[in-house]
Structure 1
C-alpha cells in the first residue's frame, strides 16, 4: 500500500518471541522461491520456521495456488491459526475464493481465525464501500461462526471512505500502514506509523458509535524492506533500518495492545519488479522478516 505524504495532515494466540499486549502475526505468500505453488508440506516447513516468532498468519486469496486447501491442514498439524483472504476486486476472483472457502472452512473453524474480504479494494477504487459490504455480508452469512472483516489502507478508514462498512456492522477491521511508502526517513517513521493507525482507529470507533466496543481493530500490514530492496525517497531499504523500524514502531504498537500483521513472513524472490508511485522500478523481493531460506534476519523481541 502506497500513500503519498500529501494525505497526511502534518488476536489471538500468544507468541513466544514478543512480550506485548497485542499479537504479532505475519502476512504469508503462496509461492516458493521458484514461483511454484506451495504445497501442504511447504507450509509445514514455513510454520516450523515461524513458530519461534508467531503462530498466526494472514493470506490474500483462498483459491490461488489452492491456498486454503493446502494451508489449513498444515496449520492444523503445526498448531497455527490462519486468517484466510478473499480477493474481492472482481466477481470471478470473489466467486473462486468463496467457493474454495466453502470446501475448506466447515469443520476447520478451530484453525480459521478469521476471513478478510478484500485487500485494499477501497484504496485501489475497484469496488465502492457499499459493494464491498455486500460481499462481506455474503461471506458472513455463509460462515456465521467465523469472524469476517476486511483490510484496507489506513487513510480509507480515516477519511470516511469505509464508513458504509462500519455502519453496516462489520467489526473486524484491519488497516494497512507503511511509513516507508510515504517517503519518510527511518527516524520519522515510527511517529508517522503511529499517527496513521491512530487516525484510522479513532475514526472507525467514532463512526461505530454504540458499537465501538465490539470493534476489533488491527494493523493488517506494515514493514520495511531489508538489504537488496529499493529506496523510496527518504525511506532507505536496509536490514538495519528494518530492524530499527520493528523495534521503534512495531513493538510500541504491540505494547499498546494493537494486533500487527508484519509484511511479510519470507522474502519473495520470485516477484517481478513493479513501478512505484514515483515512476521508478521497485524491487519488492526483500520485505521478509525471514529470508528466502527461512532464516530470521534480525531480533524481534520487544
Structure 2
C-alpha cells in the first residue's frame, strides 16, 4: 500500500507508546442458525489467539440475542479475551432486554472482560432513528454501567459516511469513542486502490469528529473484503482480493488504529466476508503480516 497523507496524519497524531486493539467481529450464530455455546465461543477465541497477530479482542453485536453475553463472557474470562459489547438500540423492549443482559453479565462475571460498549450499530446509516434519540440511549447506557462501577468507554458504531454527516453531531458528542465501518468494496473501489480508499474514509471520519469533539478517538469497527459474491462496480469479490486487502490494510492498521476485522465467519451471505469456513479453516492466509 502507498503511504498516503491520511495514514501519515493518523500516525503523527498518536503517541508512540500506544498499544492498539486488534480484533475480529464474531456473530453469535453457527452455520445451522443455532446459537454458539460457551464451548464454541471458547474454540473461536482460542483460534484467534493462536493467530500470529495474537488476537485477544472481539466485537459482539448484541447482548441478549442468542444469549450472547451469557454464553460468551465465561469463554472470554477463561481465554483472556476482551469484548467490545454490542447493545442493540432499536425497539425499546429489545433495548431494555439488552441492557438487562449486560447488567446480568456484569453481576455474574465482574467487569474486566469489557473492552468498551457500543450502543447501536449502523442505526444512523439505516435511518432507524435520529441522532438525538440515539445520543440519549448512549447516555442511558453509560449512566447504567457507571452506576455499577464500569468505567469502560461507551460509544456507537456506524458507517464512515454517517459520521461525516453533520446532522449526526449529537451522537459524536455523546460517544466516548467513534466506531467507524468502512468498506472500499461497497465504494466500488478496484482492489489496487482499495487501501487508499479505506484510509481516506478513516481520515474523513477523523476530520468530521475533530470538528465536533477534538481529539476523540476513531476506531475501525468493521472493514474487510468479501471472498465471494457479486462485483460492486470495479470491486471484485474473491479470495485473492480478500487476501490482498488483508495484507495491504490489516497488516498496517494493526499498528496504527484500534481495529476489528469483518468477519470471523459469515454464513449464507452474499457477498460473504468470512475468513474462516464452517469447519473452522482459514479461507486465506492470515500469516502474511
Corresponding residue SS for 1:164: helix
Distance 1:301 1:76 in 2: 29
After TM superposition, what 4+ stretches of structure 1 lie above 4 angstroms from structure 2? Answer: none
1:261 corresponds in structure 2 to 260
2:141 corresponds in structure 1 to 139
By percentage of residues, which structure has more helix? 2
1:119 corresponds in structure 2 to 121
Cα distance, 1:102 vs. partner? 1.2
Distance 2:145 2:259 in 1: 24
Alpha-carbon displacement from aligned partner over 1:81-107 (angstroms, at most 9, x marks no partner): 111101112212211111111111234
Q: Structure 2, unaligned stretches of length 5 or more?
A: 1-17
User: Is structure 2 residue 171 aligned with structure 1 residue 165?
Assistant: yes
Q: Structure 1, unaligned stretches of length 5 or more?
A: 1-19, 274-282
> TM-score scaled by structure 2?
0.86
> TM-score scaled by structure 1?
0.83
Alpha-carbon displacement from aligned partner over 1:227-261 (angstroms, at most 9, x marks no partner): x4332222111111011111112333333x21111
Distance 2:75 2:249 in 1: 31
Say if 2:205 and 2:218, in contact at 8 Å, map to a contact too.
no
Distance 2:116 2:173 in 1: 20
Corresponding residue SS for 1:38: coil
Distance 2:110 2:280 in 1: 27
Say if 1:122 and 1:161, in contact at 8 Å, map to a contact too.
no
Coordinate RMSD, CA, aligned: 1.7
Distance 1:240 1:76 in 2: 35
Listed as ranges, the matches of 1:169-184 within 5 Å are: 170-184=175-189
2:14 corresponds in structure 1 to none
Distance 2:235 2:94 in 1: 34
Pick from 195, 199, 213 the counterpart of residue 200 of structure 2. 195
Distance 1:230 1:147 in 2: 37
